[in-house]
Structure 1
Amino acid sequence: MNLTHLDENDKPKMVDVSSKPETVRSATASGLIEMSPDAYEAVVTQRAKKGPVLQTAVIAAIQGAKRTPELIPMCHPLMLSSVKTEIEELPDLPGFRLWVTAKLTGKTGVEMEALTGVSVGLLTIYDMLKAIDKGMVIREIRLESKTGGKSGEFRRD
């Protein structure tokens, strides 16, 4: 099996994408944060001491997507054309599901940017609420869909 991130001498390398055609690519990822009813209430009533939790999480998710190559080894720096977020309130959990969609026209996919955006957004929610609930659980960070590139489309069932 050929490993794409190792050269013939087993030294780490970034994959060469220079010969790949540019295509429109997008990826959507999501993740959950489960919390106590008190923490959830602080968010929806905007009474968290650190400020507007969901708005801050959106900014963090976008920034996380943009800074992915600084955090994940071998990720190519990408010129993202769009990063969109959506936050779903889940009062019965209680908690929130964060969705991040990253898009570009380029030679490599944006799955890692969407996944990193979700991770950073959810970690920001945790950070802003940890004084209320240190037992929050971040889970189910996953790729929901991707389009473009050689491997084509993927949609989670």
Structure 2
Amino acid sequence: MSELSHLDSAGRARMVDVGDKPITRRAAEAVGQLLCAPETLALVKAGEAPKGNVIATAELAGVMAAKQTAALIPLCHPLPLSQVVVEITPDDGLPGFLVHARVRTTGQTGVEMEALTGVSIACLTLFDMLKAVDKGMEIGAIKVTAKSGGRSGSWQA
């Protein structure tokens, strides 16, 4: 990479001007996971978590967070999101939860950060709602898995 787009010639942080970029349909997907004890996973799957339906709550938190990305991450552009989907799937093989976010917009910049924010906050919400029963949980493997739109086109991990 020859230069970082968020730094000016003096090394100061700056918001990139996307005003001259064409408006295109853009999408991004991200994933992550929360690892937990098998007993914690079983508790959630049985609907017996002390704080209620942790999956539905964390999915909603992820959607809400994606919509607030520009307020959370400096230099991100506020974007009109046309779709945000956050899905959490229990996985006995981890054991834990797989978190997947899909975000779409029509605009001048991509939505990778919104997808990553949705996954991150969904994982943090799961952690918060389950920490009373499992102190050893671990959040990880958060990454962008696909993006489309814009000058660089489509990419998939």
Question: What amino acid does structure 1 have at the position aligned with 2:80?
Answer: M
Distance 1:92 1:20 in 2: 44
Distance 1:154 1:129 in 2: 35
Following TM superposition, where does structure 1 have runs of at least 4 consecutive aligned residues deviating by more than 4 angstroms? Answer: none
| Structure 2 residue 21 is matched with structure 1 residue 20 | yes
**1:153 maps to what in 2?**
154
Distance 1:23 1:56 in 2: 32
| Structure 2 residue 121 is matched with structure 1 residue 116 | no
**2:135 maps to what in 1?**
134
Q: CA deviation at 1:36?
A: 0.5
The two structures have a TM-score, normalised by structure 1, of 0.95
Distance 1:12 1:77 in 2: 17
Q: 2:60–2:86: 8 Å Cα contact kept in structure 1?
A: no
Question: What amino acid does structure 2 have at the position aligned with 1:146?
Answer: K
**1:31 maps to what in 2?**
32
The two structures have a TM-score, normalised by structure 2, of 0.95
For 1:38-117, what aligned pairs fall within 5 Å after superposition?
Answer: 38-117=39-118
Q: 1:38–1:132: 8 Å Cα contact kept in structure 2?
A: no
1:32 and 1:10, CA in 2 relative to 1: closer, same or farther beyond 3 A?
A: same
What are structure 2's unaligned runs of at least 5 residues? none
Question: What amino acid does structure 1 have at the position aligned with 2:33?
Answer: L
Aligned residues: 156
Q: CA deviation at 1:42?
A: 1.6
Q: CA deviation at 1:49?
A: 1.1
1:13 and 1:51, CA in 2 relative to 1: closer, same or farther beyond 3 A?
A: same
Instruction: Compute the RMSD of aligned alpha carbons.
Output: 1.0
